[in-house]
Amino acid sequence: DTAVSQTPKYLVTQMGNDKSIKCEQNLGHDTMYWYKQDSKKFLKIMFSYNNKELIINETVPNRFSPKSPDKAHLNLHINSLELGDSAVYFCASSRLTTRGSGQYFGPGTRLTVT
Amino acid sequence: AQTVTQSQPEMSVQEAETVTLSCTYDTSESDYYLFWYKQPPSRQMILVIRQEAYKQQNATENRFSVNFQKAAKSFSLKISDSQLGDAAMYFCAYKGNTPLVFGKGTRLSVIA
């Protein structure tokens, strides 16, 4: 069983397009996250949702819009894609009340904008 | 703001030998958690080991152990009996009352 899954794993698209990445977790966690890993492998949080409510929104262009239809899903929609959006995007989940248990990551989505 | 520093961008180790990866962090919090994540070429982020700041005993998971020095704000990872499958990027991470903060990673190569 896959704990945290993301689709698609690879996404190649042109500048100006709109795309979505889907994430699902079956761990029963109440908090989900989106991270961006740049070409230098640096990981930075973008968003966090707890029980479908946005609790963290780091400095991210408003072209990025997360949507959480329920506790098990957190999708990322990106409008008007730019070259600089090329990166690997990771979804993760955890239980907010047990922050010491760590976060569990999906396999990542490699986004390439041409 | 909390910061995590991994001063070794790259390390290498002979198969079956032991290697230590360094991590230091900066915080004013007293209650926090520290983690090591492994990212192999498959890019999957895998939680290797965790440490609770209020526990003095160093965490151990099979061949992986940490040396946690709270006063020095140091959290190094020791890999014993290194295997080819240990080759990966290793990220140190801090979790307090803020989002998880990652270091920039150390790329570990294992030489057969």
Size of interface A-B (CB pairs under 8 A): 47
What ranges make up the beta strands (E) of chain B?
Answer: 3-5, 10-14, 19-21, 24-26, 33-39, 46-52, 60-61, 64-69, 74-79, 88-95, 101-102, 106-111
Chain A touched by B52 (CB under 8 Å):
yes
Averaged confidence pLDDT in chain B: 94
Q: Distance between CA B44 and CA B58 in Å, rounded? A: 26
| Structure confidence at residue A98 as a pLDDT band (50, 70, 90) | low
For residue B52, give the chain A residue with the closest CA. A100
Cross-chain residue pair B45–A58, CB shorter than 8 Å: no
Checking if the pLDDT of A54 tops 90, the result is: no
DSSP secondary structure of A66-111 = EEEEETTEEEEEE-S--GGG-EEEEEEEE-TT-GGG--EE---EEE
pLDDT digits (tens, 9 = 90+) for B4-46: 999 999 999 999 999 999 999 999 998 899 999 999 999 999 9
Checking if the pLDDT of A1 tops 80, the result is: no
**CATH number of this structure's domain B3-111:** 2.60.40.10
Residue A82 half-sphere exposure toward CB, CA atoms < 13 A: 6
| Structure confidence at residue A57 as a pLDDT band (50, 70, 90) | confident
| Structure confidence at residue A5 as a pLDDT band (50, 70, 90) | very high
Instruction: Specify the fold of A4-113.
Output: Immunoglobulin-like (2.60.40)
Share of chain A above pLDDT 70, in %: 96
Checking if the pLDDT of B99 tops 90, the result is: no
Residue A92 half-sphere exposure toward CB, CA atoms < 13 A: 30
Could you tell me the end-to-end alpha-carbon distance of chain A, in angstroms, rounded to an integer? 34
